[in-house]
Amino acid sequence: MTWKYAVRECRMHVVMSVLCLVQAVFLFAVVIGLLSVFMARYSGYQPVRKLLEQNGFISNMVSSVHLEGDAEGRQVHSSEAYEEMLKDARVYGQYRVHAFVRDDQWVAEAREEDVFHSNMRAYDDEWIQGFVPRLQSGKWLEQENTEGRWLEAVVLQSSDRYKTGDTVYLDNNSMTVLQTKIPIKIVGIIDRNSDIIYKSNGRGYMDYHLLFGNMAEETEGLDIISNTNSSYMSETFFVSKRNLDSVQEQYVDQEAEENLSENYENVPSTGKTIFFTELEGVVLIVMDRDCPQEVFEYNKNRIAQISQFHFLHDLDYIKKNTWHSIMTGISDIIPAGAGMLLFTIISFVTLSTLMYQKNMRKYSIYYMYGLTWRGIFRIHVLYISLIVFAALVLGTVVAHVAGYFGIWKKIAVQIGVVQMGGCFAVMMVLLLSASLMCLSLVKGRSAKEILQEVE
């Protein structure tokens, strides 16, 4: 019954309904457009927001060394070791692993010429959980139990050499030959165009883009100049540092066994590791929010002392720059947008109230013949809702069309949860304000009074 009478209202007030509809369509289209701009910029930041919105530093490290103790002068090989040199800090590291994966012939030739290139990198858990690059196939790294017998890797490659599901073997980046071949199961292939947290190629940004490298961009020139890409970029194996450590633990004794391995002297001297790792690439050093300023400053100075890096920035500075670049342009039009929203709401509510007032006689008759005010109110709200819903659909179409034909330059119109959420919020504001106005017209008056008034 409510539906029937609400639809009838639409038919009976075509002009008013169309006026309301046009206003609401315009409003929804603008809301979708604005939120699309915001989301296009925010979507890149959102996955790493948790990582970056902490207290601390971001650095693109080249190398780090121990300045004192037994390890003095040696490279820092783990985030734990780096943390020990700082105060109350946690380090989310990336590592260059002195190991490589290639076919036997290539390995033999490399050994002969004593030319090796590492093509393996390891991530601390925080990076693995913090950001998942776009994959061409397979899955991203996990900290699942591999019983320490094999490594799981995802591969970034410029060719199609490896596929998900392949098993390859790891070799040592040195003249010594490994006793055992350590298997690597390829669980995923990274999309060549995907951003990855690797060696930052920040592209001149001073915001969250600093985190990322992009293989396609980095090798674009190389592809044109030469057929041979830089060797380390032709394929890179990404593994979990935790996975790497547990695999080493399984194979280390075997490798250290005299007479069986050429590696037996090397292994104990590196603290029972087969593959040497060094902190390199984008590293986060974070502290608690309430950490004293002195500790913050101490750590900053300490990092400068023990590490070489391409950059070292405060995370708060990066966060500030990031929000600034996301909101550039948007913040300028927010007052205009809010003004327009307010104007549209006021005129929409006015029109809706006028319609309600115009209908008061009819609604009083409905009341006389057995409908409660609540029931009448439901009819009116459903009628307004039909207009608003139709406006939402049309507004979405208008936004799409405007984007498609380039009427809104540089706006990639997207219809996502946020855009729909924004429209839903606007829809609620419209409906609530229209409803409250209509309620105030009836409040405390009898049907007879209303009927007499409108006569």
Partner 1 sequence: MICLKDIVKTYNKGKSNAYEALHGISMEIGDGEMAAVIGTSGAGKSTLLHILACIDGYDSGEYTIDGEEVGKISERQMAQERNEKIGMVMQDFALVEGFTALDNVMIPLDFADRKRHRKRKERRERALEMLELVGMAEFAEKQTNNLSGGQKQRVAIAWAIVNDPSIILADEPTGALDSATTREIMKVFRDLNEQGRTIIIVTHDPEVAEECSRVIRIEDGRIVNEDFDNVD
Binding-site ranges for partner 1 (CB under 8 A): 1, 4-5, 12, 362, 365-375, 446-449, 451, 455
Nearer to partner 1 by Cβ, of 198 and 366: the residue is: 366
Q: Report in angstroms how near the CB of residue 5 gets to partner 1 at its nearest.
A: 8
Q: How many CB atoms lie within 10 A of CB 454?
A: 14
Q: Report in angstroms how near the CB of residue 404 gets to partner 1 at its nearest.
A: 40
Q: Report in angstroms how near the CB of residue 8 gets to partner 1 at its nearest.
A: 8
Q: Report in angstroms how near the CB of residue 379 gets to partner 1 at its nearest.
A: 11
Nearer to partner 1 by Cβ, of 12 and 206: the residue is: 12
Q: Report in angstroms how near the CB of residue 451 gets to partner 1 at its nearest.
A: 8
Q: Report in angstroms how near the CB of residue 372 gets to partner 1 at its nearest.
A: 5
Nearer to partner 1 by Cβ, of 349 and 379: the residue is: 379
Nearer to partner 1 by Cβ, of 263 and 359: the residue is: 359
Distance CA 71, CA 50 (A): 34
- Taken as a whole, the chain contains a residue count of 455
